Amino acid sequence: MQSTVFTPWEDPDAKPLIRFQNVTKRFGTFTAIDDLSLDIYEREFFALLGPSGCGKTTMMRMLGGFETPTEGRIELAGKDIVGVPPNKRAVNMMFQSYALFPHLSVWDNIAFGLRRDKRPKAEIEARVAEMLKLTRLEKFAGRKPHQISGGQRQRVALARSLAKAPKLLLLDEPLGALDAKLRQDTQFELMDIQEKTGTTFVIVTHDQEEAMTVASRVAVMDEGKLIQVATPDRIYESPANVYVADFIGDVNIIEGRATPGEDDTYAIDWAEGEVPLQATSATRFDKGQTCYLAIRPEKVTISTDRPEGAVNAVQGKVLDIAYLGNLSTYHVELPSGMVIKAQTANTRRISRRSFTWEDPVWLSWTVTGGVLLAG
């Protein structure tokens, strides 16, 4: 996707566009954002991910100017913006509730921000037409918000926030109400817009796949704190802890005790009377330290016989099969009662599937297939 490598966060001289410095936000005694520091760079597509109520919208509202941090400092392009009112910020926000003006038509909603800038009429008309085309709303330009469907409303909200081509665009769950196809199209559209305009995007989403698709970096939050901030592939391949591994995608977590071996390899005792599992890790574990082996289902191979030379192999029986069209996920129960998920691509027709319920099977994965985590 990105032809030139875009990694300003690794450049110590790069100036961040947004800088949260030890920001805390309390509502009464409730701490919504807890001593959070974060840099977001120009032209980034930054995704905030986290469970409901973890403070994503609160972060956005502080950037938009609707909440002031209780403590700490927020900088936009090097300037402290705490206390700058929303209308004086080069920031636009798409609200989670859309916040469309009910008394104005779709056209007037989109033109609203442009009119406040006192731009020439022809320019406004051209810009609104462009936005309507982008969001495929041409047919609905004359309707009022209550005369269109939920997905159409969401697109109006998106068009309205994009219209002013702001330096920073905040999108709070922009695509939640769209169907899968339109959602994907809009995701690529957003990335396209971002590439063309160089706008910095901060996007909140519940959908981790969406975050993976669009984002240059992903921040995983929990209870007002950042748990990990990294590129999508790093978040997925080397999560910082069990929470992140579990939050992003499907994962099997096996708890055990580590015994250091050679070359960063560890033997993990995970069940009475079972052969220890092998995994490599760059972080050090002491002998006997509790550790968690996180393995993605697609890294687990399922077979009838024990694969020859497999480092990690366990036996179990098929408990359940989830057919997802292109993929199948097998839930395999081990003798200990633990359930491990294995995913395979359905390259053959379903009638030719090799395993069925209750079949005894072997699960195996390589020494680098899993990630060893401390907690």
Nearest approach in angstroms of CB 268 to Mg ion is 38
The answer to whether 217 touches 202, Cβ cutoff 8 Å, is no
Alpha carbon distance 120, 104 (integer Å): 20
Q: Does 70 bind other proteins (CB under 8 A)?
A: no
Q: Which is nearer to ligand ATP, 54 or 295 (CB)?
A: 54
Alpha carbon distance 311, 2 (integer Å): 36
The answer to whether 170 touches 60, Cβ cutoff 8 Å, is yes
Residue 173, token pair as written in the block: 């769950």
The answer to whether 251 touches 294, Cβ cutoff 8 Å, is yes
**Among the candidate windows 100-108, 121-129, 234-242, 296-304, which touches other proteins by CB under 8 A?**
100-108
- H helices of the chain, in order, are 56-64, 106-116, 121-134, 150-163, 180-197, 208-214, 232-237, 242-247
Nearest approach in angstroms of CB 176 to other proteins is 16
85 binds, among Mg ion, ligand ATP, other proteins, none (CB under 5 to 8 A by kind): other proteins
Q: Which is nearer to other proteins, 47 or 91 (CB)?
A: 91
φ and ψ of 38, to 5 deg? -160, 140
55 binds, among other proteins, ligand ATP, Mg ion, none (CB under 5 to 8 A by kind): ligand ATP
Q: Does 97 bind other proteins (CB under 8 A)?
A: yes
Residue 276, token pair as written in the block: 């220890």
Nearest approach in angstroms of CB 108 to other proteins is 10
Nearest approach in angstroms of CB 39 to other proteins is 23
Quick one: the chain helix, strand, coil %, rounded to 5?
A: 25, 35, 40
- Beta strands 45-49; 217-222: pairing state: parallel
Q: Does 58 bind Mg ion (CB under 5 A)?
A: no
Q: Which of 36, 49, 54, 148 binds other proteins (CB under 8 A)?
A: 148
Q: Which of 28, 83, 102, 325 binds other proteins (CB under 8 A)?
A: 102
**Among the candidate windows 144-152, 201-209, 217-225, 333-341, which touches other proteins by CB under 8 A?**
144-152
Q: Which of 16, 46, 55, 57 binds Mg ion (CB under 5 A)?
A: 57
Q: Which of 68, 147, 336, 354 binds other proteins (CB under 8 A)?
A: 147
CA distances from 116 to 87, 164, 209, 219, 373 (A): 10, 10, 37, 34, 52
Alpha carbon distance 127, 183 (integer Å): 23
The answer to whether 279 touches 268, Cβ cutoff 8 Å, is yes
Q: Which is nearer to other proteins, 117 or 272 (CB)?
A: 117
Contacts with ligand ATP, residue ranges (CB under 6 A): 27, 30, 32, 50, 52-58, 96
Q: Does 349 bind other proteins (CB under 8 A)?
A: no
Alpha carbon distance 293, 277 (integer Å): 9
The answer to whether 181 touches 149, Cβ cutoff 8 Å, is no
x/- site string to other proteins, residues 35 to 64, per CB under 8 A? -----------------------------x
Q: Does 117 bind other proteins (CB under 8 A)?
A: yes
Q: Which of 6, 34, 66, 374 binds other proteins (CB under 8 A)?
A: 66
Q: Which residues bind other proteins (CB under 8 A)?
A: 64-66, 85-87, 91-93, 95, 97, 99-103, 112-113, 116-117, 140, 143-144, 146-149, 152, 160-161, 164
Provide the binding-site residues for Mg ion, judged by CB under 5 A.
Answer: 57
